[in-house]
Amino acid sequence: MEIKSADFITSMADYGPFAGRGLPQVAVAGKSNVGKSSLINRLCRRNKLARTSSTPGKTRLINIFLLNQQFHLIDLPGYGFAKVDKREKARWGKMMQDYFEQAEELRHVLCLVDIRHEPTEDDKQMNLFLRQMGIPFTVVATKADKISRGARMKQLAPICRALLVQPWEIICFSSEDGTGREELLKLLEAVTAPEPEAAQAHTMEQPT
Ligand SMILES: Nc1nc2c(ncn2[C@@H]2O[C@H](COP(=O)(O)OP(=O)(O)O)[C@@H](O)[C@H]2O)c(=O)[nH]1
Ligand SMILES: [Mg+2]
């Protein structure tokens, strides 16, 4: 897949109707500052499509982008920002729950974790939540440029242990040098492909 067009659609505090809703969705989840907005920008080759920030915890909204007029990329609000109070945390939880319950169009979640750090309790909870909901996901290890190629595999071990995935299932990504972009595009192509109606019909024809 090539990204031919990328447009910001809207930001919302509560997930609800928006123009063009109904297309397949891929959501980007992860704690504040892990690199969600940077990944979206790098993916689309647009520096300022999604707002990035060096101050974590700024994005408290669901940001929606339309890619190739074909699917929506959902920049979810980051979690695990130490300074937020209980009320803010509860609000975040409700927002996420509402989103995941309502987004019937959701095909896949990109779960971002910093390649240098062990996943947090919040990361593990998100992982468990997606598994319980039966939502397919891929772990993306961000900021891969911060460590040498040779050290990457070793860095992935604690991530694999915490999130119950295999190293080859993880996409190592860098919004700095573009590492992993092609792999991510391939994944997006696969998960946003039109529903295989023909394939379903074919399956039904198969002898049992
Ligand atoms: N070196 C490096 N820095 C990154 C990368 N991705 C994000 N950052 C930096 O990390 C900070 C947070 O990024 P941002 O995309 O706003 O994170 P978000 O809160 O998850 O959306 C910013 O200062 C980015 O420049 C990366 O792949 N490599
Ligand atoms: Mg962001």
Confirm or reject: Cβ of 179 under 6 Å from ligand 1.
no
**Confidence at residue 197, expressed as pLDDT on a 0 to 100 scale:** 60
Q: How far is the CA of 102 from the centre of ligand 1 (A)?
A: 28
Give the atom of ligand 1 at the shortest distance from the alpha carbon of 142. 27
Q: At residue 49, does pLDDT exceed 80?
A: yes
Choose which residue among 52, 60, 112, 177 to substitute to test ligand 1 binding: the one with the highest number of ligand atoms within 8 A of its C-beta.
Answer: 52
Spatial separation of the C-alpha atoms in residues 40 and 19, rounded to whole Å: 20
Residue 1 lies in a domain: no
Give the atom of ligand 1 at the shortest distance from the alpha carbon of 57. 19
Residue 133 lies in a domain: yes
Q: Which of 3, 2, 25, 39 lies closest to 141, judged by CA?
A: 39
Res. 65 pLDDT band, cuts 50 70 90: very high
Residue 146 lies in a domain: yes
Confirm or reject: Cβ of 37 under 6 Å from ligand 1.
yes
Q: How far is CA 146 from CA 34, 54, 59, 117, 174, in A?
A: 13, 16, 24, 11, 9
Q: Name the token pair of 16.
A: 């609800």
Q: At residue 29, does pLDDT exceed 90?
A: yes
**Confidence at residue 198, expressed as pLDDT on a 0 to 100 scale:** 52
Mean pLDDT: which of 112-116, 151-155, 203-207 is highest?
A: 112-116
| 106-114, strands of its sheet edge to edge | 6-12, 62-67, 71-75, 25-30, 106-114, 137-142, 171-172
Confirm or reject: Cβ of 34 under 6 Å from ligand 1.
yes
Spatial separation of the C-alpha atoms in residues 63 and 190, rounded to whole Å: 23
For residue 110, the enclosing domain spans: 6-205
Residue 55 lies in a domain: yes
pLDDT in tens, 80-110: 766 667 787 788 888 888 999 999 999 999 9
Choose which residue among 49, 75, 175, 181 to substitute to test ligand 1 binding: the one with the highest number of ligand atoms within 8 A of its C-beta.
Answer: 175
Spatial separation of the C-alpha atoms in residues 112 and 34, rounded to whole Å: 7
**Confidence at residue 14, expressed as pLDDT on a 0 to 100 scale:** 87
Number of domains present in the structure of the chain: 1
Q: Which of 35, 97, 105 lies closest to 64, judged by CA?
A: 105
- Between these two residues, 202 and 40, which has the higher pLDDT value? 40
Q: At residue 22, does pLDDT exceed 80?
A: yes
Q: What is the CATH number of the domain that holds 40?
A: 3.40.50.300
